[in-house]
Amino acid sequence: MAGRLPACVVDCGTGYTKLGYAGNTEPQFIIPSCIAIKESAKVGDQAQRRMMKGVDDLDFYIGDEAIDKPTYSTKWPIRHGIVEDWDLMERFMEQIIFKYLRAEPEDHYFLLVRVLNTGPLQ
């Protein structure tokens, strides 16, 4: 499409996520690939967290902010290059798109970098 803005490039790694816009020589942001959630929100498995509604769902931090929250439980949704917790990964991606890149997904293409040795389901 003619009116599209530059593509967003996101490289989610086990330790750090690099993100920015296509055409730039380096990423705009390099942040830890972690998310901090409330202690009450960590109880149970992914299925139970999916059922949670309300404010606890919105009470989380990512990146450097997540590491600086001692009263929250810090999680790393990616291990050895493979996403292990898709619910947390979805929250993480939402924050990097809207808070860091300040992008409207409808206005940009997205390039997600993938490690070569991950399986087809990742």
110 compared with 2, residue with greater pLDDT: 110
Decide if domain 8-100 falls under CATH 3.90.1150.10: no
CA 53 to chain centre: 20
pLDDT digits (tens, 9 = 90+) for 30-66: 999 999 998 764 545 666 656 655 566 788 999 999 9
Cross-strand pairs, 11: 18, 113
pTM exceeds 0.85? no
CA 23 to chain centre: 22
Residues in the chain: 122
E-strand stretches of 22-118: 29-32, 35-38, 60-62, 72-75, 78-79, 82-83, 110-113
Instruction: Assess whether pLDDT exceeds 50 at residue 1.
Output: no
pLDDT digits (tens, 9 = 90+) for 68-85: 998 999 999 999 888 999
What are the structural domain ranges in the chain?
8-100
